[in-house]
Amino acid sequence: MNHLIVVAHPAIESFTMALSRAYAGELEALGHTQRTRDLYRMGFDPVLAAHEILPVSTAHPASADVVAAQDEIRWADALTVIYPLWWLSMPAMMKGYVDRVFARGFAYESVNGSVHGLLSGKAAVSITVSGAPLPMLVKSGDWAAVQALQDTHILRAAGFKFLEHLHFDEVAPQLSAEIGDQHLTQVRACARRHFGESATGGRLAS
């Protein structure tokens, strides 16, 4: 399978980036092809331009970087997004990627007010990190909001088969090496769970 991993974190040595490397490495060890798009290091422009709101036409052609990013999603059988929760949402860099790349006519279409996703046949996995404990986020209702807005409103709405939202909570700069290693083991297990020999969830093409 072809995998596109899109990751957003400004610090290369962050836990988020370590998760991305471990997940990508495990996919390759399983014999899959992966492309990681590290939005900060590639200098992705997250700012939606006025002309990009309009339907693509000869007068309003799609931006070259958006076309390239959309081609990568077309190429992929599975998309995995990886980012920390900032203010319970995705970093602006990742949100800008969604705003620009998940454009109308590519990720979704809207007819008479009814929206349908155009990316069916592909799988999606979401991997996030928070400082707060997950039970606290669940109790406050914040976790339901995260799932509704990020997993359902974006990935499921675009037509992806949503396989898992894997979340790592209580991640702080002083995270012990032991816990960090356990988390990296978990993210590798996530790749095997969905895309390993005995997995069925990610095998959409066959």
Ligand X SMILES: Cc1cc2nc3c(=O)[nH]c(=O)nc-3n(C[C@H](O)[C@H](O)[C@H](O)COP(=O)(O)O)c2cc1C
Q: Point out which residues bind ligand X (CB under 6 A).
A: 9, 14-16, 84-88, 129-132, 171
Closest distance of CB 170 from ligand X, Å: 8
Q: How far is the CB of 137 from ligand X (least distance, A)?
A: 7
CA distances (Å), 165 to each of 1, 144, 147, 193, in order? 20, 12, 8, 13
Q: Give min distance, CB of 171 to ligand X, in A.
A: 4
Closest distance to ligand X from the beta carbon of 132 (Å): 3
Judged by beta carbon, residue 126 or residue 130, the one nearer ligand X is 130
* Cβ at position 184, least distance to ligand X in Å: 12
- Output 53 or 136, the one with its CB closest to ligand X: 136
User: Tokens standing for 111?
Assistant: 């007819």
CA distances from 19 to 33, 57, 60, 198 (A): 17, 39, 38, 23
In the complex, what is the shortest distance from the CB of residue 169 to ligand X, in angstroms, rounded to a whole number?
7
Residue 69: burial class (beta carbons within 10 Å; 0-12, 13-18, 19+): buried
CA distances from 86 to 26, 39, 95, 142, 157 (A): 27, 16, 11, 12, 22
DSSP 138-184: HHHTHHHHHIIIIIIIIIITTT-EEEEEEEE-S--TT--HHHHHHHH
Distance CA 175, CA 85 (A): 16
